[in-house]
A and B are shown apart, each in its own frame.
Chain A
């Protein structure tokens, strides 16, 4: 048993054990509870629902690793979506061409990056708390968005936009491909790049990082810019999936992204945690939601179950930590 655990840790890392155990538990439970659960349909729906939440979670994960937080991710996604929507509308609306879409996407990413840039600069230079800074940004973006859209939907996009939200390539949903690409980029960035290394060092002790010659301000700014860009990608996918943009879309995801990070073993105070366990944790949350849906549970109950799950995980983690100590 110990040898097996050691091999598992060597291949996946010790922090994968929890999420994998939860994955197995969910698959087994719903596999028995509902005959339709272990079918392609379930996984298809998960594959289409996962990406928005998944990419927003990556946007949340990066600042958390530095010991911060980005509460503005959902509204950054909305504003980025609006940017793309307007570019399409001013270039012919439903008749807009791919060039307009490309331009709009670039502008959307730039707007997302700008939102992160402002937060990053304020956090890095004034040392203001990230919760307050990103909360201010969130309120600003929400107010701005609601003012510009008068609280309504923007829709009427060219037909080729829809496949980005609903299409598949070789049977794999396009949004899932985008998510996987983002996961890989973030994974490599965090585990192999100087920026990633510095992110972890800053997260556990920013002063010692500064004394070691790490440009802590630059790293903080880049991390928030990246977080904003990730949020913008989520915004573009949301636009394609709903075929409309509305300020407030995806607002309920905000706290779920924080919880997904913790479920994936990210240290809430920064400095520790990896992308892959978070990815598995996201799959677990989404499977849980689909499974409960199949059993006919109310959607609000699903949210409640997510909450219970996270509390159980915290308690289990405490148990396992205590148990390990006793064994040692």
Chain B
């Protein structure tokens, strides 16, 4: 690729977008956004969840077509209608957050995948596939057995396979969507080293991340998006984490934790030496009245499994649970609900709510006995119960009979919380309550949590977003590989300490 034009190319952006607008069902996902990548630079695209980062990548890769008036220029060539094929042909490579790999196929097949696809059927040459794959891995300075199925490798190696695949297609610019989300610190360091190598060899890398430490470490420039609009493009030199946070959220971050001392109030739920082989072991803790107990840890830490056990959907192999002083051993979640334990699922789309059904039906689903009159469901009691909770939690709805799927993520989550509050619980387990909830609506969810705790409800708040539990819980349990790795008091330890141990 080294030609005479290289001289002037450094001054000219490799990729430049201007006037990008994107609307989904009345919601403006991107508002007049512009974006620029210089050849060979490491650029960070920052913004909170829902700020439009992923939408912008999808525009660049040709998955979405922006509204009229958009201008996309790649290497001096104006491309009015980008398609995925065109993006690939020009060396625009995307490594999606879910990696989009084939676990059952070999490492070599995964890497050489794009060289295999084509309009005309032709025989597969496995020797070529292997050499292509080995060459790509060698460029990254990594050695993997290319014949082994991908599923044999951990997430960090799969990430590398995805990068290798991107390099096979003569990459000019590689987008990495949250590449470090599930990596440990040393794996992250390795990945950052690879990114530096790529950049040195002239490939531009756009790092999409909200992990601020990495952003500062690796990028030369940073583009910040907020609510679908461009906040600005900044050189990383002279940037601080809190400055970036401020730019991303649009407000000076409230650095005060909500932690209170509730050790004086009575113990509502107590777990001692709870174990389930392969999921978690030797879990002991006390949950006080009015306490918000945070549980954090990476994927596979056993947090959801523990929650489901407390909720009676799984039986502990050993250990005991006491609720209000009495030992309990639930045979099903119906018994748990009756005893006053509620569980808000992390998977709102398929487990937490019944998406096709109405707002009202979803809200009363767990508390049918409270709206009976005789043996039949009273339409009046149902309406008034629903209206009361809708008003109490400030849910914005059209009609009670509308399908719950018509609501925004934040409003759906409020209904899901209302569903459990209607069962009059003593303990409310919130498993990742902000997943798929817009940034603006998250604060509202946590205000509800704080209000409920103030009113005496005991809450277990599970999240893999460490700051969420740090700022909203009274105590934080860090789980790792099914064990309690540490208990933190947000008033006595810093967010950094907690993050350091979680991501270690």
A201 touches B361 (CB 8 A): yes
Top-9 shortest CB links A-B: A192-B376, A212-B365, A213-B337, A208-B354, A212-B366, A204-B356, A205-B354, A213-B334, A211-B351
12 contacts between A and B (CB under 8 A): A192-B376, A194-B372, A198-B368, A200-B357, A200-B361, A204-B357, A205-B350, A208-B351, A210-B333, A212-B419, A213-B333, A271-B356
**Is B496 among interface residues, defined by CB-CB distance under 8 A?**
no
**Closest Cβ–Cβ distance, residue B389 to chain A (whole Å):** 15
Cα separation A188 to B374 with both chains bound (whole Å): 13
Is there contact, CB below 8 Å, between A193 and B361?
no
Assess the A207–B366 pair: CB atoms within 8 A.
no
**A192 surroundings in chain B (CB, below 8 A):** 376-377
Q: Produce 1/0 per residue, B103-122, CB < 8 A to A.
A: 00000000000000000000
Assess A211 versus B333: contact at CB under 8 Å? Given A192-B377, A204-B356. yes
Smallest CB separation, A212 vs chain B (Å): 4
With the chains together, A209 CA to B313 CA distance in Å? Answer: 13
B368 contacts which of A194, A200, A272 (Cβ < 8 Å)?
A194
Quick one: which of A194, A204, A213 contacts B354, CB cutoff 8 A? Answer: A204
- Residues of A within 8 Å of B376, CB to CB, are 188, 192-193
> For the complex, is B251 an interface residue (Cβ under 8 Å from A)?
no
In the complex, besides A193-B376, A194-B369, A271-B357, 6 extra interface pairs with C-beta distance below 8 angstroms are: A201-B354, A208-B350, A208-B353, A211-B343, A213-B423, A215-B332
Q: Give the complex CA separation of A188 and B244 in angstroms.
A: 59
* Residue in A closest to B335 when the chains form the complex, CB atoms: A213
Q: Are A197 and B377 in contact (CB under 8 A)?
A: yes
Say yes or no: B368 contacts A197, CB within 8 Å.
yes
Per-residue contact bits, chain B 332-350, to A (CB 8 Å; 1 contact, 0 not):
1110010000010100001
Q: Produce 1/0 per residue, A96-127, CB < 8 A to B.
A: 00000000000000000000000000000000
**Interface size range of chain B in the complex:** 20 to 34
B365 in complex: contacting residue of A207, A209, A271, A272, CB < 8 Å? A209
Question: B368: which A residues are within 8 A, CB to CB?
Answer: 194, 197-198
From known contacts A192-B376, A193-B375, infer whether A201 and B356 are also in contact, taking CB-CB under 8 Å: no
Q: Which of A200, A205, A213 contacts B366 (CB 8 A)?
A: A213
Q: Nearest chain B CB to A117's CB is how many angstroms away?
A: 21
Measured between beta carbons, the chain A residues less than 8 angstroms from B361 are 197, 200-201
Q: Interface on B for A, CB 8 Å cutoff?
A: 313, 332-334, 337, 343, 345, 350-357, 361, 365-366, 368-369, 372, 375-377, 419, 423
Whether the pair A272, B377 counts as a contact (CB closer than 8 A) is no
A202 and chain B: residue at smallest CB distance: B354
A214 contacts partner chain B, Cβ-Cβ < 8 Å = yes
Decide: A207 and B357 in contact? CB cutoff 8 A.
Answer: no
Find out whether the CB atom of B355 lies under 8 angstroms from the CB atom of A193.
no
Q: A220 to chain B: closest CB distance in Å?
A: 15
- Highest count of chain B CB atoms <10 Å: which of A188, A213, A214, A272: A213
Docked pose: A227 CA to B197 CA in angstroms: 68
Chain A residue at smallest Cβ distance from B336: A213
Contacts of B350 in A (CB 8 A): 205, 207-208
Note all chain A residues with C-beta closer than 8 A to B353.
208
- Closest Cβ of chain B to A65, distance in Å, is 12
A198 neighbours in B (Cβ, 8 Å)? 368
Q: Looking at the assembled complex, report how far the CB atom of B408 sits from the nearest CB atom of chain A, in whole angstroms.
A: 19
Which residues of chain B are near A194, meaning CB under 8 Å? 368-369, 372, 377
Please, which residue of chain A has its CB at the minimum distance from the CB of B358?
Answer: A200
A210-240 interface code vs B (CB 8 A; 1 in, 0 out)? 1111110000000000000000000000000
Expressed in whole angstroms, the minimum distance between the Cβ of B312 and any Cβ of chain A is 9
Contact of B357 among A188, A193, A201 (CB under 8 A): A201
Which residues of A (180-194) have their CB < 8 Å from a CB of B? 188, 192-194
B354–A272 touching, CB < 8 Å:
no
User: Chain A's nearest CB lies how many Å from the CB of B53?
Assistant: 30
What are the residues of chain B within 8 A of A205 when measuring CB–CB?
Answer: 350, 354-357
The CA-CA distance from A116 to B218 in the complex, in Å, is 65
Q: Kindly list chain B residues whose C-beta atoms are within 8 Å of the C-beta of A209.
A: 354, 365
Whether B352 pairs with A208 at a CB distance below 8 angstroms is: yes
A193: chain B residues at CB < 8 Å are: 375-377
